[in-house]
Amino acid sequence: MSPEAGREHWGSRLGFILAAVGSAVGLGNMWRFSYLTAENGGAAFVILYVAVTLVVGLPVLLAEFAIGRGSGRSPIGALAHFGGRAWTPLGWIFVATGFLILAYYSVIAGWTVRYAVTAAAQGFGPDAGAFFGRVESGWDAVAWHAGFMLATVAIVAGGVKAGIERAAVVLMPLLFLMVVALAIYAATLAGSDGGYDFYLAADFGEILDWGVLQAAAGQAFFSLSLGMGAMLTYASYLSEHEHLPNESLFVALTDFAVAFIAGLAVFPMIFALGLQGEVMESTGGTLFITLPGAFSDMGAAGRVVGLVFFAALVVAALTSAISLLEVVVASAMDGLGWARRRAAVILGSVIAAMGVAAALSPKVLDVMDKTASNLLLPGGGLMLALFVGWVMRDPMAEVRRGAEGVRWFVLWRWLLRVPVPVVLAVVLWQSVPALWQTVLGLFG
């Protein structure tokens, strides 16, 4: 089998890279990264996170690129192509994960749209907690979620080149500028030093904690969009002999850079306004409660800063949501022969309907997030590492195309064979009991 002749392709190498970066850079970089850093000891967590990204995340990212480009298929077909029919169930799990993540991701994205509109229209009031309470769940949340899904469907329906690539090429540079501008602004605030100290001075006692490793690994997978075939699917639209090792390194470093710079905006702003006490208490609320509180205290400037901040989040979320929907849509196109538009509209509607549960109940949203990021993504990554490390015949030949002369492939395959599965198995071992508790909490 050779990659299908009629398959869509990226218009340029830059288009592919920006789309992959767009998938990686999302709510994870700003929402999850900031609260996990706050929860897990600041700089110590950041250092561990970088290490896990390089040792565990990067090899799996390259594995997804290799399977995707080599097969020219979406996950189910790609795994069958290299591993035989026995591997199709893993592909099905990937597609199911796409449904699940997008369903709640779009709800949170809906909050960010509403926050951006609020910042522009009237600014945040003094009681940010009460505002979040109104935004977080209920029929309003359903409506904003539905609107966000509509935009996602519209872009994916446009196709790989005219929809996804075009959106990424316009939106990603814009996002980068906004995040950098925010970090620069934060540096001008009096009293921001405490934020840098907290963010950049490590408390190494925390690094040795298993819980911190689990958080770092979960975050690395979520942030790099790994373990459910998003990167695999994007790589399936590569026609040329790209230098996959370089591309994967670039995507991983850019993803980290955006998260890091976002932290340089978030923590100094929070400390400058004396709100650090609230960060520790409200985990997910750092972004949606503490920061709007800071914007409200900033007065007129806060309106602009708030708008830029939440607009950046909307952009980041949109390019990630696109990649989640694309996994599902591409699978229906490859597997069922559906036309792109039909797949985008029908499957997007199913996902939007699933998301209603998350928009009406924060507990359901939490269970969906934990199931995906603590179980399905690391589990998917574990299976992918074993697949490329032990099952796929000659994966080296696959990455070597376009990257002749690179010598560290042997190391890559070894990482996939032993260290990556071991780390991921430990992470899963740790997270399954906690996940079970969360699920029980739904009924308790």
Q: Residue 320 Cβ, how far from ligand PHE at the closest point, in Å?
A: 4
Q: Where on the chain is the footprint of ligand PHE (CB under 6 A)?
A: 23-24, 26-29, 101, 222-223, 225, 228, 230, 320, 323-324
Q: Residue 114 Cβ, how far from ligand PHE at the closest point, in Å?
A: 18
* Residue 59 or 218 with smaller CB distance to ligand PHE: 218
Cα 358 to chain centroid distance, Å, stands at 18
Contact 378, 221 (CB under 8 A): yes
Q: Residue 256 Cβ, how far from ligand PHE at the closest point, in Å?
A: 11
For residue 192, what are the contacts with CB-CB under 8 A and spacing of at least 6?
186, 268, 269, 271, 272
Q: Concatenate the DSSP letters of all residues of 76-109 into one string.
A: HHHHHHHH-GGGHHHHHHHHHHHHHHHHHHHHHH
* Residue 26 or 91 with smaller CB distance to ligand PHE: 26
* Residue 258 or 273 with smaller CB distance to ligand PHE: 258
How far apart (Å, rounded) are the C-alpha atoms in residues 87 and 89? 6
Residue 290: how many CB atoms within 10 A of its CB? 27
Residue written as tokens 């980041």? 316
Amino acid at 371: T
Q: Which string of b and e fits 169-188 if b means at least 16 CB within 10 Å?
A: bebbeebbebbbebbebbee
* Residue 275 or 385 with smaller CB distance to ligand PHE: 385
* Residue 74 or 323 with smaller CB distance to ligand PHE: 323
- Tally helices (H) and strands (E) across the chain: 24, 0
Q: Residue 245 Cβ, how far from ligand PHE at the closest point, in Å?
A: 20
Residue written as tokens 């509209």? 345
Q: Residue 207 Cβ, how far from ligand PHE at the closest point, in Å?
A: 23
Question: By C-alpha distance, which of 246, 258, 249 is closest to 22?
Answer: 258
Q: Residue 390 Cβ, how far from ligand PHE at the closest point, in Å?
A: 24
Torsion of Cα atoms, 234 then 49 then 255 then 183, to 10° = 160
* Residue 101 or 128 with smaller CB distance to ligand PHE: 101
* Residue 229 or 395 with smaller CB distance to ligand PHE: 229
Q: 330's torsion region: left (phi>0), alpha (psi -120 to 50) or beta?
A: alpha
Q: Residue 2 Cβ, how far from ligand PHE at the closest point, in Å?
A: 27
Residue 437: burial class (beta carbons within 10 Å; 0-12, 13-18, 19+): exposed
Q: Residue 231 Cβ, how far from ligand PHE at the closest point, in Å?
A: 8
Q: Residue 26 Cβ, how far from ligand PHE at the closest point, in Å?
A: 2
* Residue 266 or 273 with smaller CB distance to ligand PHE: 266
Q: Residue 369 Cβ, how far from ligand PHE at the closest point, in Å?
A: 11
* Residue 123 or 218 with smaller CB distance to ligand PHE: 218
* Residue 112 or 192 with smaller CB distance to ligand PHE: 112
How far apart (Å, rounded) are the C-alpha atoms in residues 295 and 342? 42
Residue 440: how many CB atoms within 10 A of its CB? 10
Q: Concatenate the DSSP letters of all residues of 344-392 into one string.
A: HHHHHHHHHHHHHHHHH-HHHHHHHHHIIIIIIHHHHHHHHHHIIIIIS
Q: Residue 23 Cβ, how far from ligand PHE at the closest point, in Å?
A: 5
* Residue 10 or 94 with smaller CB distance to ligand PHE: 94
Q: Residue 101 Cβ, how far from ligand PHE at the closest point, in Å?
A: 6
* Residue 273 or 372 with smaller CB distance to ligand PHE: 372
How far apart (Å, rounded) are the C-alpha atoms in residues 357 and 164? 28
How far apart (Å, rounded) are the C-alpha atoms in residues 225 and 373? 10
